[in-house]
Amino acid sequence: MENNINKAHMDKINMRKEITKYLKKWPWFILCIIICGAAGYTYLRYTTPQYLAKTQIILKDDSSKNSESVIFKDLGIMSTAGTKSIENDLGILRSRRLMNEVVRSLNLYIQYYIEGEFNDIELYENVPFSIHVMGFDENLLKQNGGGRFEVWRSSNKIYKIKNLQTGRIKEEEPGNTIDLGFAQIIIRPRENNRDYEGKTIVQFSEINKIAANYRNKINFTQADENSLLIGIELTDPVKEKARDILDQLIMEFNRSAIEDKNLIAGNTFDFINERLAIINEELDSVETGKKIFKQQNQLTDIHAESQMFIQNASDYNKKRQEIGTQLELSNAMLEYISSNSDGNLLPSNLGLSEGGVNDQIDEYNSLILDRNRLLAGSSEKNPMVIKLNSQIDQIKANVVQSLNRARSNLLISQEDIQRQASSIGSKIYSVPTKELQYRGIERQQSIKETLYLFLLQKREENSLAMAITEPKAKIVDRAYFSDYPISPNSRSVYMGTFILGLFIPFSLIYITGLLDNKIRKRVDIESMASNIPLVGEIPKMKQKLKLIKSNDRSVLAEAFRILTTNLQYLLITKKNKNSGITFLVTSTIKGEGKTFTSINLSITLANTSKKVLLIGGDLRNSKLQPFVINKSQKLGLCDYLADDTLTLDCLIQKSSLNAHLDILLSGNYPPNPYELLKTEKMGVLIEYMQKDYDYIVIDTAPSLLVADTFLLTKFADIVLYIVKAGFTDKELLEFPQRAKEQEKFSKIAFILNHVSKAHLGYGNNYGYGYGEAKERSWSKGYKSTVFDI
């Protein structure tokens, strides 16, 4: 339980630290938000707005059983025009052919612009003149690479047309035909813009390209999968144009559906007229024969004795008439099918008693219409066309087979009726032959009259079907548009730029943190080298750092006071309390502030009235020469170790920094510094100095570069290992840790140097620079020496 609480507490602290890391960079966030906001404003200012136009329609289902469709089915004129599913209707609405018709009807291939400050502004309803196209050749337009003209009206009311590609200018009066090469046009001024003399750019484009552009922009929505309610949307910079395109699209769709319906009715009308002409001739022939027969045989009425037999035979005659009519229709249909090409529609609803044949004919006609629509925008090699051709051939074969089967059944029925009629005929055998012949003539006349009247009725019904032009799509809402643009959306743009303004600095800070391999704050050391204590943090100054002076209340002085205090806690376990304390100052590489730390640490200790000796232990690079009083004296440690005649009393010098601070310079550069430091004389020197001084501070060489430092660690009570913030790589912390594990450093502590104000302590949240004395231009006293770390 306690572990969970500690973990939650640590997570909270880590989260707070992460947030604080970004909050410290708040000026960057504000700057990026301002820049991104300005970019968003510029985008909104100069981007062409897009407007949305909408409309709604209901596609009528041909298979629906509403009252209107039932009435037409009873009349035998149930139309099979149009598609059988909502997907097919949507396919027609999306078709290239239909959109091409819309472009032609609205002259959308002619666009009008006026020059704007940054972009051309398209005109639609407020064009200052009208252009009537008398002839238009797309091929020539394509060869010319398009047609772009500048049109304006001069002071004498003459129109000037400048070809922007060639620079040629034509002048014509309003109403005259103008030859543009690919088109002949007539320009007339509009009533409300007769005096307008500004320049207008007229752009002629290919119809297919304009149609393809709007096809891609139109969006169709369906309430649900089975709904016939279709929403159509179109976005365009000119909202009035988008509205007109949607209205024209629905108009063209309805016109196409009506044309398909009238095409079937027209073919049926032609077929009925042909049959009526043939039946009329046959009926005239029968009536003429009847008249001649009656004249030759002087017949006026049927004998009474034949009435009874004829009455019995009348039922059979009626059946023979019905069968004869059906045979005539079947033969006529078979003859029509055999004499017409595969691409023609078949007459429907002629009254065939075989119901399956009528359904097959309806299906055949529907497939013919679907194939013709596909062929309007593709070729015979289209897989859908090939598939439809296969289905058409199969259904046609089924129709022929069904008609032949129906005709065979009718012939069988006719033979059966003949056999039954023979039994009646035997009873009227005594009836005179002339009477029988007369009845035969009347039967022929009745069959022809029945068929003739039937075809007349069908022709009227078909004419009625042609007269009724019911639209395929019922308009629920006419096209309308919003007065506010949908794109660009200012709210979305500003929200996006705001998020982008936050994301850019956030990502840069985050990526910089991931790629940063430098030690920057105490947490970096504590997390990577927790087995070595951190006893002090030396702040980074705004300018070059000054050395500490007496009664100094600066942040730098306070940092070294805290350092010396922390060192006291590490020295509690020191065995010999009477000898001086030895600090060895080193680092991993050069430039991390060893000498700077050694001098200021020595000054801080000396300010407590303790005797302090600062030894230049780096025999390869002497840096303490500027801080002694006698700068001409250059002998030091190296000379003492190499020359037995020299004594320490003549080598140790008073410093110019503090009266309690003495300095032993490193001396002249030796050829063998490692061998000198390895001698026993070095141990004797340290032991002797520990009796005379309270503190001994040894400024040594970088421990990673040379082995000199490891020879001196055995004399040190504490090894102060300098790490420079923003300079030392994190991976270099492995070196002092390995050295401690190998017992090369008996007692080691880190000092973090050059720490920025933001990273000092725990993020400078607890009174950075508390009690710091402000520098004044008239301050007197010790003139601090500037030292570059």
| Alpha-carbon span 713 to 724, nearest angstrom | 21
- The three-class DSSP label of residue 577 is coil
Q: Tell whether 288 and 396 lie within a shared domain.
A: yes
82 domain-assigned: no
More confident: 359 or 237: 237
Reported as a pLDDT band with limits 50, 70 and 90, residue 72 is: very low
771 domain-assigned: no
Which domain, by its residues, includes 27?
2-47+488-515
What is the pLDDT at residue 587? 93
Q: How far is CA 85 from the centre of its chain?
A: 32
**Cβ–Cβ < 8 Å for 615, 650:** no
656 domain-assigned: yes
* DSSP H stretches of helix in 643-743: 648-651, 673-677, 680-692, 708-712, 734-741
- The three-class DSSP label of residue 722 is strand
Q: Residue 231: beta bridge partners?
A: 56, 221
Instruction: List all residues 6 or more positions away from 189 whose beta carbon is below 8 Å from its beta carbon.
Output: 128, 129, 130, 153, 174, 196
What is the pLDDT at residue 785? 37
Reported as a pLDDT band with limits 50, 70 and 90, residue 298 is: low
What is the pLDDT at residue 779? 36
Reported as a pLDDT band with limits 50, 70 and 90, residue 39 is: very high
Which residue among 183, 205, 227 closes a domain?
Answer: 205
Q: What is the pLDDT of residues 40-52, one digit of tens each?
A: 888 888 888 888 9
Q: Which of 57-61, 415-419, 706-710 has the highest mean pLDDT?
A: 706-710
Beta strand ranges found along 617-747 (DSSP E): 653-654, 661-664, 695-699, 718-724
Q: Tell whether 496 and 539 lie within a shared domain.
A: no
Instruction: Work out the average pLDDT over 165-190.
Output: 86
Q: What is the pLDDT of residues 485-522, one digit of tens each?
A: 888 888 888 899 999 989 999 898 888 878 888 888 88
782 domain-assigned: no
| Alpha-carbon span 295 to 601, nearest angstrom | 156
Q: What are phi and psi of 654, to 5 degrees?
A: -75, 140
Query: For the residues of 266-298, what is the DSSP string, one character each?
Result: HHHHHHHHHHHHHHHHHHHHHHHHHHHHHHHHT
Q: Residue 222: beta bridge partners?
A: 230
State both tokens at 327. 């045979």
Q: What is the dihedral of CA 437, 439, 441, 446, to 10 degrees?
A: -170
What is the pLDDT at residue 81? 39
Q: Tell whether 670 and 587 lie within a shared domain.
A: yes
252 domain-assigned: no
Does residue 10 have a pLDDT over 60? no
What is the pLDDT at residue 582? 93
What is the pLDDT at residue 488? 83
Largest Cα span, the chain: 182
Nearest to 182 by CA among 203, 204, 215, 213: 204
241 domain-assigned: no
Q: Tell whether 418 and 298 lie within a shared domain.
A: yes
Angle between helices 96-106 and 207-217 (to 10 degrees): 110
**Which is it for strands 718-724 and 581-587: parallel, antiparallel or unpaired?**
parallel
What is the pLDDT at residue 160? 87
Does residue 786 have a pLDDT over 50? no
Does residue 697 have a pLDDT over 90? yes
Please report where in the chains the tokens 């390995």 appear, as a residue: 738
**Cβ–Cβ < 8 Å for 583, 696:** yes
What is the pLDDT at residue 288? 78
| Alpha-carbon span 550 to 607, nearest angstrom | 6
Eight-state DSSP code of residue 518:
B
Instruction: List all residues 6 or more positions away from 28 whose beta carbon is below 8 Å from its beta carbon.
Output: 505, 508, 509
What is the pLDDT at residue 32? 93
Eight-state DSSP code of residue 757:
G
55 domain-assigned: no
Q: What are phi and psi of 584, to 5 degrees?
A: -110, 120
% of the chain with per-residue pLDDT over 90: 13
Q: Tell whether 401 and 329 lie within a shared domain.
A: yes
Angle between helices 433-467 and 307-339 (to 10 degrees): 50
Q: Which of 244-258, 361-375, 688-702 has the highest mean pLDDT?
A: 688-702
Its pTM stands at 0.55
Reported as a pLDDT band with limits 50, 70 and 90, residue 38 is: very high
For residue 488, whether the previous peptide bond is cis, meaning omega lies within 30 degrees of 0, is: yes
* DSSP H stretches of helix in 302-354: 307-339
Q: Tell whether 197 and 314 lie within a shared domain.
A: no
Q: What is the pLDDT of residues 726-757, one digit of tens each?
A: 889 988 889 998 988 888 887 899 999 988 87
What is the pLDDT at residue 346? 77
Q: Tell whether 320 and 460 lie within a shared domain.
A: yes
Reported as a pLDDT band with limits 50, 70 and 90, residue 780 is: very low
Least confident stretch, 330-339, 518-527, 553-562: 330-339
Instruction: List all residues 6 or more positions away from 39 whose beta carbon is below 8 Å from its beta carbon.
Output: 497
Q: Tell whether 131 and 156 lie within a shared domain.
A: yes
Type of residue numbered 136: F
Alpha-carbon separation of residue 753 from 372, 520, 529, 602, 606 (angstroms) = 87, 9, 16, 16, 21
What is the pLDDT at residue 764? 54
What is the pLDDT at residue 453? 80
State both tokens at 272. 């009925």
**Cβ–Cβ < 8 Å for 189, 174:** yes
What is the pLDDT at residue 67? 36
What is the pLDDT at residue 603? 92
Please report where in the chains the tokens 């060895």 appear, as a residue: 584
Which residue among 168, 187, 205 closes a domain?
Answer: 205
Reported as a pLDDT band with limits 50, 70 and 90, residue 24 is: confident
Q: How far apart are the first and last CA of the chain?
A: 49
Instruction: List all residues 6 or more positions away from 124 whose beta carbon is below 8 Å from its beta carbon.
Output: 112, 238, 240, 241
- The three-class DSSP label of residue 453 is helix
Q: Tell whether 509 and 652 lie within a shared domain.
A: no
445 domain-assigned: yes
Instruction: List all residues 6 or more positions away from 506 whose beta carbon is below 8 Å from its beta carbon.
Output: 22, 29
More confident: 762 or 380: 380
Angle between helices 490-515 and 26-46 (to 10 degrees): 140
What is the pLDDT at residue 696? 94
Q: Tell whether 280 and 367 lie within a shared domain.
A: yes
| Alpha-carbon span 108 to 112, nearest angstrom | 10
Reported as a pLDDT band with limits 50, 70 and 90, residue 467 is: low
Q: What are phi and psi of 220, to 5 degrees?
A: -110, 135
Nearest to 242 by CA among 54, 109, 417, 406: 54
Q: Tell whether 691 and 636 lie within a shared domain.
A: yes
**Which is it for strands 183-189 and 129-136: parallel, antiparallel or unpaired?**
antiparallel
| Alpha-carbon span 389 to 370, nearest angstrom | 10
Does residue 665 have a pLDDT over 70? yes
Instruction: Work out the average pLDDT over 235-256.
Output: 89
Q: Tell whether 422 and 497 lie within a shared domain.
A: no
What is the pLDDT at residue 534? 93
Does residue 120 have a pLDDT over 50? yes
Does residue 719 have a pLDDT over 90? yes
Q: Which of 148-162, 405-419, 555-569 has the highest mean pLDDT?
A: 555-569
Does residue 479 have a pLDDT over 70? yes
Residues in the chain: 789
- Split into its structural domains, the chain has a count of 4
Q: What is the pLDDT of residues 588-615, one digit of tens each?
A: 999 888 989 999 999 999 999 999 999 9
Q: What is the pLDDT of residues 633-661, one digit of tens each?
A: 888 888 888 888 888 888 899 988 888 99
Angle between helices 239-297 and 86-93 (to 10 degrees): 120
| Alpha-carbon span 283 to 298, nearest angstrom | 22
Which residue among 178, 205, 232 closes a domain?
Answer: 205
* DSSP H stretches of helix in 147-235: 207-217
| Alpha-carbon span 58 to 230, nearest angstrom | 6
Instruction: Work out the average pLDDT over 709-722.
Output: 90
Q: In what order do the strands lie in the sheet with 183-189?
A: 129-136, 183-189, 177-179
